[in-house]
Structure 1
């Protein structure tokens, strides 16, 4: 079985929590059943594209954010970078700027 449903579910959960929504609130906004949202987040359901689009719209994110840069090789550079980007996407712009400054400081320190 593909890991895609689980990866998509994890992204849905991260975006939902970042927005401060419960599963019930997301289900209401997406016009889907609460149980279905839970099953999506756990990767137990192969969602239709229509359902995933409803969830993305309810979260206020582009549909492609749920599918962008999904790689299954944890040792690849693309996989590592996509995880960094995914984590930062759910943060506020202020947090992103702080992380960028920290990254610059760490790189300067490492290059000494």
Structure 2
């Protein structure tokens, strides 16, 4: 199962680290507790729309960019899950005749 909150947390952490910011710096700028931001980044807590806007502002990144990155991550995970659960047909070759076991 794809968890939106986990992927959102990964994107937020990536944005923070890309900018070289610490949790403490983002916490002070966003006026959100360091522990709560940490839980969001680890996918343990859901971020409200207001909190997400505050974090994006502190990270100086548009909300649309964060949501786009999360959307792409969701699509990748959905594809990976689909590929992992799709059976691959077994093809046996007997002389010049190809027979499928599926």
Judge same fold: TM > 0.5, yes or no: yes
Structure 1 runs of 4+ with >6 Å offset: none
Q: Aligned residue for 1:42?
A: 42
Task: Answer 1 or 2: which has greater strand percent.
Answer: 2
With the length of structure 1 as denominator, give the TM-score of the two structures.
0.62
Select the structure of larger CA radius of gyration: 2
Report how many residues are paired: 76
Superposition map of 1:1-112 within 5 A: 3-68=3-68, 69=71, 70-71=74-75, 72-75=77-80
Distance 2:64 2:8 in 1: 11
Task: Answer 1 or 2: which has greater helix percent.
Answer: 1
Gaps of 5+ in 2: 82-102
Gaps of 5+ in 1: 77-112
Q: Choose between structure 1 and 2 for higher RCO, CA contacts under 8 A separated by at least 6 residues.
A: 2
With the length of structure 2 as denominator, give the TM-score of the two structures.
0.68
CA RMSD of the aligned region, Å? Answer: 1.8
Distance 2:44 2:11 in 1: 14
Quote the offset at 1:2 in angstroms. Answer: 5.3
